Amino acid sequence: MSHEIIQPEGWAKPIGYSNGISARGRIVQVGGQVGWDENCEFQSDDFVDQVRQTLANVVTVLTAADAKPEHIIQMTWYFTDRHAYKSRLKDIGAAYRETIGRHFPPMAAVQVVALMEDRAKIEIQVLAVVPE
């Protein structure tokens, strides 16, 4: 195994992410991806649709680097509407599992005032480590 989830003794187990991870291998950095398609066009303004597309974009970049979702060791989510995120967690979780699977690396979720693309509601940055 190229990575190991870190769960401090006595801590409650987190849901949908992990507290830490240890990994060894080739590093793949995925720059911030937003919810547009391969032509840089948004197909939807719905928050969950953009999450789904953003995650698909992350997987596409990973695939181009001969990496897989299970190689992800860190995710940072930037979104413009904390309420939209929190109120749609069930749908976001379903989109995540459909695209990434049941791999839950350490994550940070941050509300920002705006993203660089006016229609973007979510941006996700990823760090992965591929076993050598």
Residue 3 has pLDDT above 90, yes or no: no
For the residues 98-118, what does the mean pLDDT come to?
Answer: 96
From residue 31, give the alpha-carbon distance in Å to each of 34, 62, 125. Answer: 10, 11, 5
Q: Are 73 and 127 in contact (CB under 8 A)?
A: yes
The per-residue pLDDT for 23 is 85
For the residues 45-49, what does the mean pLDDT come to?
Answer: 98
> Given pLDDT bands bounded at 50, 70 and 90, which one contains residue 108?
very high
The per-residue pLDDT for 1 is 57
pLDDT mean across residues, the chain: 94
